[in-house]
Amino acid sequence: MLLALLAVTLIGGFYIYWHYYNVFGEGVKSGILKNVVRKGQIFKTYEGELIQAGIKGAVGGGAQSNNFVFSIENKRIYDTLALHSGKRFDLHYNEYRGVLPWRGNTVYIVDSILSMTDSGVSVY
């Protein structure tokens, strides 16, 4: 009985680590920052959206913009992004297999800003 309980605990612990804490992938996304927000019912998280160059096909044969939706754990990164909405950013992110409610609403967690430049896009 004790051995079975130990086995279930180890397997459960490994699954939780593998699914929620082990980094599945990492990369860099570039684009114009559309928005960043702080939201949540119980856990307030930082979320953002980057508009990438190009378009992607939509269901039904249409076209839509290529957006990267991400979460941010670090308040300093959030503050920097919030002050510079509309600028072009290169953001480094880690990708996880699962979402934790206190980490954010997406599996993509931005952990650093690699560069920031003016977007060169005029709204007038």
Domain ranges of the chain: 25-117
**Mean pLDDT, residues 2-28:** 95
Residue 80 has pLDDT above 80, yes or no: yes
Higher-pLDDT residue of 11, 57: 11
The pTM of the full predicted model, rounded to 2 decimals, is: 0.86
**Mean pLDDT, residues 78-97:** 97
Helix H or strand E segment including 16: helix 2-16
**Is the domain 25-117 a CATH 2.40.50.140 member?**
yes
Sign of the dihedral defined by the CA atoms of residues 30, 102, 107, 24, in that order: positive
- Per-residue pLDDT of 28-69, as tens digits, reads 999 999 999 999 999 999 999 999 987 766 666 666 679 999
Distance CA 44, CA 35 (A): 16
Structural contact between residues 34 and 51, judged by C-beta atoms closer than 8 angstroms: yes
